[in-house]
A = this chain, B = another copy of it.
Amino acid sequence: MSLLLRDTENYGNIYIEDAAIVEIGCAAYDADTVIDAKRKALVPGFVNTHTHAAMTLFRGYADDLPLQTWLQDWIWPAEAKLTGEDVYWGTKLACLEMIRTGTTTFNDMYWHVLESAKAVDEMGIRGVISNVFIDVDGGSGGSDEETQRENKRLITKITKDYSDRVIPALGPHAIYIVSEESLLWIAEFAREEDLLVHIHVSETEQEVKDCIEKTGMRPVEYLDRLGFLGPNVVSAHCVWLDDNEISLLAKHNVKIAHTPTSNMKLAVGQKMRYPCLRAAGVSISIGTDGCASNNNLNMLESAKFASLSQKSATNQPTMMPACDAFSMVTKHGAQALRIGEGGGEIIEGALADLLLIDLQLPGMTPLHNLDSNLIYASSNCVDTTICDGVVLMEGGVVDGEEEILMKASETAFDLVNRRQ
Contact = CB atoms under 8 A, between A and B. Distances in A.
Interface of A: 56-61, 63-67, 70, 93, 96-97, 100, 261, 263-267, 269, 271, 291, 294-296, 298, 301, 305, 307-309, 311-312, 314-319, 321-322, 360-363, 365-369, 372-373, 376-380, 402, 405, 408-409, 412-413, 416
Contacts of A319: 267
A295 B377 contact: yes
Given A63-B376, A369-B63, A97 B362 contact: yes
Contacts of A322: 63-64
- Candidate in A67, A322, A378 with the most chain B CB atoms within 10 angstroms: A378
Integer count of this chain's copies in the complex:
2
Nearest to A408: B365
13 contacts: A56-B366, A59-B363, A60-B366, A63-B321, A64-B322, A261-B308, A264-B308, A265-B308, A267-B312, A267-B316, A295-B376, A296-B376, A305-B305
Given A377-B60, A379-B380, A317 B365 contact: no
B296 A368 contact: no
Given A70-B317, A301-B301, A309-B309, 20 more contacts: A59-B363, A59-B365, A59-B372, A60-B376, A61-B366, A61-B368, A61-B369, A263-B312, A264-B309, A265-B317, A266-B317, A267-B314, A267-B317, A271-B312, A295-B372, A296-B378, A305-B305, A360-B402, A366-B408, A366-B409
Nearest to A374: B60
Contact of A296 (B59, B67, B317, B377): B377
Contact of A311 (B264, B298, B402, B405): B264
A323 to B, nearest CB: 8
